[in-house]
Structure 1
Amino acid sequence: MAPSKKKHASSQPRIIPGGFTELSLRFSSDSVSEHKLYLKEHKVRAEKSSHRPLDRTLFVLNMPPYCSEGVVKEMFSQFGCVRSVELRDHPGSSKESGPKLSRFFKPADKQGFKVGYIVFQNPSSVSAAKSHPHDAPLVVCTEQRQVRTGAQKWIQQYTESFSHPEKLQQIVDSFMEGYDKRKEEEADRQKEEAEQQQEDEEGWVKVTRGPKGTKGRPHSEAANKRTLQKEMRKKKRKELLNFYTWQHRNTQKEHIADLRKKFEEDKQRIALLRAQRQFRPY
């Protein structure tokens, strides 16, 4: 007997508005309730990071909190080799490049539903995941992959929160070594820039070629300060003094008042010298 059309249609992937494919998820094989994931191929033109290739990255919504990156990687490995998995609170650009921090130097992750970026080895794996029938749910917890929830999960997280003092000391020492190394490199770079931008006896500044597409010019704070002072002096020389008649008249009055004041001071100084003179020929 041929299968009914309704049963045949249910084995096909379900497409919802927005281009997302619906994928069912069960916590265990004996679970009755199902959780829905919504996935589609990651296609963002502004994405320039090599960590998310546009033809091999799968964008997943509504990822439950009990699914860690390791669990997601194992679940989606049935569609092909998974290179990396990234879970985030909100969609956005990839993680910032920089030194990898330990969990002791990072805030605790938020507990809740997340979005995921799954990068496969081959582009065909993305198509295989999208074409997976929605009535064949993925299983999270199996005999080979045990996932803890509820009180067991909190007990495990509480136990893992304690670290051995020697291991913690190694993590701190490694972090401080990297920090000191970055500070030394920054100090050497600033010292080299200061030496290159130092003026010689005649006031010339050696300007080196900068990165491609940029002009070679001094970038230090001292050089910028000297340039600003030169501009201020140049601007002051170009200012029009005594442009109006009343300005010229006030300037003359101030000059005459200064001369009279200086004349009175000179008269007093001369009178004082005469009074202090001891030799009087008359």
Structure 2
Amino acid sequence: MAPSTKKHGAGNACIIPGGFAVLSLKFSAESDTQHKLYVKEHRVRVEAKTHRPLDKTLFVLNVPPYCSQAVVSQIFSRFGAVVSVELSDRPGTASVPEIKLSNIFKPAEKQGFKVAYIVFRKAKSIQLAKSHPHNFPLVISTEKQPVTTGLQKWAEQYRKSIILPEKLQETVDAFMTDYDLRKEEKEKKQEEEAEEQKEDEEGWVKVTRGNKGTKARPHSEAANQKSLQKEIRKKKRKELLNFYTWQHRNTQKEHIADLRKKFEEDKQRISLLRAQRKFRPY
């Protein structure tokens, strides 16, 4: 990016509602059109312990699609040393970086305007960026550091997408070697846990806690039978009763028949009690 010949105090900063400062961008020195960025200091209490320091992070809106992380870092490096740049499709809390299994196969990026979180080395860089005059645009593409767009950019992306068979084979071999090592470590750990949970000579079982999120239980026949019976009872409770209409009618008929049978038995019992209480003087 071409350094500006004007000082920061030579113009006035433009502050809009919401506390955002307006920064003007020009793609090249010869461009007549300008693009507007909206920046302000990033202050979210929830993210106090993330990789976005509250006093050194600048929040940027309306980042053009042709601006990569390197280009954004290049633009804002005039205000101070940039530690990191994070581009996102929409504002949100800091996400945990996922483990990248391969540097070759990458998901397609969404094209469109983005938001950026820029972390500076010093806190004063935030104020320098916010106080930059909006009528002095920053130049993106220069002779020393050109930014490719259009057909040139597509051709460059296509060339980078072509993977040599030798390079691909090396990546696959490295991944499979790492996978085999992790698999052997997991099997070895499971064997050690099984050895620890075996019954000793007196029949005692040593119960140990397994991996996080799993319940430890003794590997004995009685415990296995108890667990099996518990699962059977749980399955029976989940079975659907009277799902069909005819099942519901049969259940009602059986219930009515049971009530009638119980009523007749109660009548006989009451008659017997009355006969036993009859007065007989001799």
Alignment partners' CA distance in 2, 1:234 and 1:153: 64
Q: Name 1:68's counterpart in structure 2.
A: 68
Instruction: Answer whether contact 2:207 2:216 (CA < 8 A) is retained.
Output: no
Judge which range, 222-231 or 183-192, deviates more: 222-231
1:70/1:11 CA distance change after superposition, 3 Å:
same
1:107/1:131 CA distance change after superposition, 3 Å:
same
Q: Name 1:206's counterpart in structure 2.
A: 207
* TM-score, normalization by structure 1: 0.67
Report matched runs for 1:15-54 at 5 Å. Answer: 15-47=15-47, 50-54=50-54
**Secondary structure, counterpart of 1:178 in structure 2:** helix
Q: Name 1:160's counterpart in structure 2.
A: 160
Q: Name 2:123's counterpart in structure 1.
A: 123
Alignment partners' CA distance in 2, 1:39 and 1:196: 59
Q: Name 1:259's counterpart in structure 2.
A: none
Q: Name 2:86's counterpart in structure 1.
A: 86
Alignment partners' CA distance in 2, 1:23 and 1:159: 34
Percent of aligned positions that are identical: 51
State the shift of 1:222 in Å: 6.7
1:161/1:231 CA distance change after superposition, 3 Å:
closer
Instruction: Answer whether contact 1:85 1:117 (CA < 8 A) is retained.
Output: yes
1:105/1:26 CA distance change after superposition, 3 Å:
same
Instruction: Answer whether contact 2:89 2:115 (CA < 8 A) is retained.
Output: yes
Q: Name 2:248's counterpart in structure 1.
A: none
Taking CA–CA contacts closer than 8 Å with sequence separation of 6 or more, which of the two structures ends up with the larger relative contact order?
A: 2
Q: Name 1:135's counterpart in structure 2.
A: 135
1:155/1:176 CA distance change after superposition, 3 Å:
same
Instruction: Answer whether contact 1:198 1:206 (CA < 8 A) is retained.
Output: no
Alpha-carbon displacement from aligned partner over 1:213-241 (angstroms, at most 9, x marks no partner): x9xx9447979977745767999xxxxxx
**Secondary structure, counterpart of 1:105 in structure 2:** coil
Alignment partners' CA distance in 1, 2:11 and 2:54: 28
Instruction: Answer whether contact 2:56 2:122 (CA < 8 A) is retained.
Output: yes
Amino acid corresponding to residue 61 of structure 2 in structure 1: L
**Secondary structure, counterpart of 2:59 in structure 1:** strand
Alignment partners' CA distance in 1, 2:218 and 2:55: 46
Alpha-carbon displacement from aligned partner over 1:142-189 (angstroms, at most 9, x marks no partner): 111111111111111112211222222222223333333333344344
Q: Structure 2: any 5+ residue segments left out of the alignment?
A: 1-8, 235-257, 263-282
* TM-score, normalization by structure 2: 0.67
State the shift of 1:19 in Å: 2.2
Amino acid corresponding to residue 153 of structure 2 in structure 1: K
**Secondary structure, counterpart of 2:67 in structure 1:** coil
Instruction: Answer whether contact 2:24 2:136 (CA < 8 A) is retained.
Output: yes
1:58/1:204 CA distance change after superposition, 3 Å:
same
Alignment partners' CA distance in 1, 2:52 and 2:102: 23
1:194/1:11 CA distance change after superposition, 3 Å:
farther
State whether structure 2 residue 105 is matched by structure 1 residue 105: yes
State the shift of 1:76 in Å: 0.9
Instruction: Answer whether contact 1:10 1:135 (CA < 8 A) is retained.
Output: no
Report matched runs for 1:171-186 at 5 Å. Answer: 171-186=171-186
